[in-house]
Structure 1
Amino acid sequence: MEHQQQEHYQGEIDEIDPLSDPEEKRVLFATLDSFRQYRHAAHYNITHLRRQSFYSLPTTHMTLLSSPPFALPKTFDAVDAAIDANAAIADAVLAVALSTYGIPAENNDWRGKATPADMDKVRSTIRQLYRDWSAEGAAERAANFDPILSALDEAFAHVPLAKRGHLAVLVPGAGLGRLAFEICRAGYRVEGNEISYHQLMVSNWVLNNSREAGAFGLYPWALGFSNHVSRASQLQRVAVPDVVPGVVLDEASESLGSEVHAFERMSMSSGDFCVLYKGDEYREAFDAVTTCFFIDTAPNLIAYIETVLSCLKPGGVWINNGPLLWHFESGPQPGEKKGRGSLAQDNQGIGEAGSFELTDEEVVKLVEHMGFEIVQHTPLGPDTGYIQDPRSMLQNFYRPSFWVARKKEI
């Protein structure tokens, strides 16, 4: 069921009301509570415990480190201020999410539900705003999104810019919505799909409620104390969002002369990719599917490929860019734990038992075997970080595989 969240962005709600299913309700409430607890948990775990350890030092050591150029107590104060800035984002996301799901703020049913895993997710999701919605994250976005956007334009070069809005593109694992936004900005009709409530709540906040570029300060590296060259690096502030999505999409529609305005071309679905898009409703519904840092979230990649085959039109293209950090390699196996969307999955999708890991060569061969023609394949692309502090003493990079596959016409 679709509903208009705001004039800029049309969102979709699960066919099953999350508040009507106990497991969905539990996960939703835990997510909401993790945003509520962000401020208190960060102050306690990041600065309070460090102050306790600091003041347990021998007096002479503590005195030395309290004075310039070290001045650690002042650093703790600065980190506390950074936490408060990040928490302002968490509070804003929470307020929008409560309204979206029709939960009164004074309702206490959802409070106290977050687990340590939920708290880890809220910290990483807020930090991800650096990559997706700050000017400083543009280099990472360019490395990951530009090849996809270029391949889309190449695949549909025969379609006039004004008519791109009649081409439907699916973005599974849409995250905070930036890739879907950029595809819509380029003129296409786009539907993002995301299973994580954390990601959905933040993307909804950015896309539907941004009124001013740079309205919030984000300190992406403040909560970690390792591998910093200077305190200035640790306490780097970036402004988010870097753009007002609605304004940019409006301007893009005008400049492209789009027959379908961007506000009518962008939507988001919530739920398990395999469950939602294998159904008859989406059979051969999309001209393109774009996956970015996504396919390695599959416990069973065959199920992902079958889903893309089902929802992609004959002759449609699947554009992929990303590494193979198989998410289930060292964690709980599918079927061993309950998770997001248990009722909607009905023992399908990401919740099914069984998993395996393939090499990049094997992935491409599997995609071919199951009904695609590989049009382009670059197995080791340029180095790219993922929410990487470029000034950190520790640099982690991926060399993602990029490929374009075309669904064979039978």
Structure 2
Amino acid sequence: MAAQREEIDPLSDPEERRVLHAALDSFRQYRQAAHYNITHVRRQAFYSLPAAHVDILSEPPFSLPQTFRDVDDAIDSNAEIAEAILEAGLTMYGIDPHDKSWQGTATPRDMDKARSTIRQLYRDWSDEGRQELSKVFEPIKTTLHGFLSDFNTSPSKDRSASRVLVPGAGLGRLVFDLVAEGYTVEGNEISYHQLIASYYILNGTGKAEQHTLYPWALNFSNHLRRENQLRAVGIPDIHLAEFLESTSSASELHYSERMSMSAGDFCVLYRQPETRESFSAVATCFFIDTAPNVINYIETIKNCLRPGGIWVNGGPLLWHFESSPTPAEKQAAKHNSGSVAEAADTVDPSASNQGIGDPGSFELSNDEMVALVQRFGFEILRHEERSDKTAGYILDDRSMLTNYYRPSFWVARKL
């Protein structure tokens, strides 16, 4: 359904191949690692209690041994999703599943990414997660409709004439939704975990609620009731192909020709001359704070937008590189392991055009961010700090602990 565009062959580059193999292996190990880390270690701790305490906690209303069995069943259900993603990824990159070279390569960080990717399916592709998602997606979609209808020069006003770029596309839901609205949309994503999972959802699922996901099963804290931990949702929430067929009247161009995904660093791919003035709009959602140097993002968006093109942004400013290891921590990691785990943390100062790997980083406040966008040749058409509006991110609304963002929302036009 979604065409995949690769600027480089990840299997031909040793570092890219290593990262891809580790991502694939993390989905392969999901089942075994989750059973061990979530229930096996808890059983060991539980049966180390005094026998009288074990007896009490084994009976209703506690029934902890039964809870462990129920969580094991939930892990198995989630693992079916992980293994379907793995199979799709192996096919996507033409990797032999029996080749042992990619197996056993996942690091603990890769395993964390696999777990968070599986859980993120709740937010992007379940009916229950739609309310959370709509709080950030709907303002973006409504704004694009308003501004692009004026910008569209097609005599028929066919929306497919408007090309929209979605950097940091994640699991592909905003790309999919905009295609359903009739636009020609290209998503971009750097994470192999996200790319492989989105490829499976967009191309590999054959019916609504094909899988049963237990988004909260791996976490034992802050549950008011045990059934909240074991709550299940069906994914995806719709039959994707049927839904796009039902919306085909929004465009004269078939949806298969209007949806694509690119794999790689946003700045590296879209600062190129061939992408100059290629898009009518750029939609960034929970994305700009992933930049160590957000000026690179601004310059890249300016490069690929047409004159008069629209940049719609919604999200917080949780600057991801603020929590990067300090120089002392990096040196300690290098001393202990012989290398630093993340390529983004090991920058060659003499190199250039590394995208997210470029040296240096800084963090801005929201008003400074808006001022910087204006400094680089954009006119701010709308700005809502949205201090009275909250949005979660993979939020368990039944938990005893909830965290909300108050995302900023703004629209800028390239002058």
Contact 1:224 1:234 in 2 (8 A): yes
Q: Which residue number in structure 2 is paired with residue 374 of structure 1? A: 380
Q: Which residue number in structure 2 is paired with residue 24 of structure 1? A: 16
Q: Which residue number in structure 1 is paired with residue 402 of structure 2? A: 395
Moved more, 374-383 or 357-366: 374-383
Of 71, 92, 102 in structure 1, the residue corresponding to residue 63 of structure 2 is: 71
Whether 2:252 is the aligned partner of 1:246: answer no
Q: Pairwise mapping of residues 228-307 of structure 1 onto structure 2 (< 5 A)?
A: 228-254=223-249, 256=250, 258-307=251-300
Amino acid aligned to 1:338: A
Contact 1:166 1:260 in 2 (8 A): no
Contact 2:21 2:105 in 1 (8 A): yes
Shift of 1:293: 0.2
Question: Any idea what the Cα deviations from partners look like across 1:7-50, whole Å, max 9, x if unmatched?
Answer: x22221x2211111110010000001000000000000000000
Amino acid aligned to 1:352: D
Q: Which residue number in structure 2 is paired with residue 203 of structure 1? A: 198
Q: Which residue number in structure 2 is paired with residue 136 of structure 1? A: 128
Q: RMSD value over aligned CA atoms?
A: 1.9
Amino acid aligned to 1:397: Y
Q: Which residue number in structure 2 is paired with residue 47 of structure 1? A: 39
The verdict on how the C-alpha distance between 1:119 and 1:207 changes in structure 2, with shifts beyond 3 A counting, is same
Contact 2:7 2:263 in 1 (8 A): no
Contact 2:175 2:185 in 1 (8 A): yes
Question: Any idea what the Cα deviations from partners look like across 1:79-126, whole Å, max 9, x if unmatched?
Answer: 000000000000000011101111111111100000000000000000
Of 163, 169, 182 in structure 2, the residue corresponding to residue 187 of structure 1 is: 182
Question: Any idea what the Cα deviations from partners look like across 1:119-162, whole Å, max 9, x if unmatched?
Answer: 00000000000000000001111101000000000102334886
For residue 101 of structure 2, give the secondary structure of its aligned residue in structure 1: coil
Q: Pairwise mapping of residues 143-182 of structure 1 onto structure 2 (< 5 A)?
A: 143-158=135-150, 159=152, 163-182=158-177
For residue 374 of structure 1, give the secondary structure of its aligned residue in structure 2: strand
Moved more, 208-217 or 159-168: 159-168
Question: Any idea what the Cα deviations from partners look like across 1:208-259, whole Å, max 9, x if unmatched?
Answer: 11111001000000000000011110000000000122221121113x2x12
Amino acid aligned to 1:69: P
Of 345, 359, 367 in structure 2, the residue corresponding to residue 361 of structure 1 is: 367
Contact 2:122 2:213 in 1 (8 A): yes
* CA distance in structure 2 between the aligned counterparts of 1:242 and 1:169, rounded to whole angstroms: 24
Contact 1:129 1:240 in 2 (8 A): yes
Contact 1:162 1:259 in 2 (8 A): no
Whether 2:354 is the aligned partner of 1:332: answer no
Identical-residue share of aligned pairs (%): 59
Please report the TM-score for the alignment, with normalisation by the length of structure 2.
0.93
Gaps in structure 2 of 5+ consecutive residues? 331-339
For residue 95 of structure 1, give the secondary structure of its aligned residue in structure 2: helix
Of 70, 77, 80 in structure 1, the residue corresponding to residue 72 of structure 2 is: 80
Amino acid aligned to 1:377: H
Contact 1:27 1:339 in 2 (8 A): no
Gaps in structure 1 of 5+ consecutive residues? 1-7
Shift of 1:347: 5.2
For residue 129 of structure 2, give the secondary structure of its aligned residue in structure 1: helix
Q: Which residue number in structure 2 is paired with residue 123 of structure 1? A: 115
Contact 1:183 1:190 in 2 (8 A): yes
Amino acid aligned to 2:343: K
* CA distance in structure 1 between the aligned counterparts of 2:47 and 2:233, rounded to whole angstroms: 31
* CA distance in structure 2 between the aligned counterparts of 1:271 and 1:346, rounded to whole angstroms: 16
Of 304, 308, 322 in structure 2, the residue corresponding to residue 315 of structure 1 is: 308
* CA distance in structure 2 between the aligned counterparts of 1:247 and 1:275, rounded to whole angstroms: 35
* CA distance in structure 1 between the aligned counterparts of 2:107 and 2:22, rounded to whole angstroms: 7
Contact 2:395 2:403 in 1 (8 A): yes
Please report the TM-score for the alignment, with normalisation by the length of structure 1.
0.94
Shift of 1:307: 0.2
Contact 2:390 2:406 in 1 (8 A): yes
Amino acid aligned to 1:32: L
Shift of 1:263: 1.2
Contact 1:384 1:398 in 2 (8 A): yes
* CA distance in structure 1 between the aligned counterparts of 2:210 and 2:163, rounded to whole angstroms: 32
Whether 2:204 is the aligned partner of 1:214: answer no
* CA distance in structure 2 between the aligned counterparts of 1:51 and 1:297, rounded to whole angstroms: 38
Q: Which residue number in structure 1 is paired with residue 390 of structure 2? A: 383
Shift of 1:55: 0.2
Amino acid aligned to 1:222: A
Tell me how many residue pairs correspond in the alignment: 397
* CA distance in structure 2 between the aligned counterparts of 1:77 and 1:190, rounded to whole angstroms: 44
Q: Which residue number in structure 2 is paired with residue 3 of structure 1? A: none
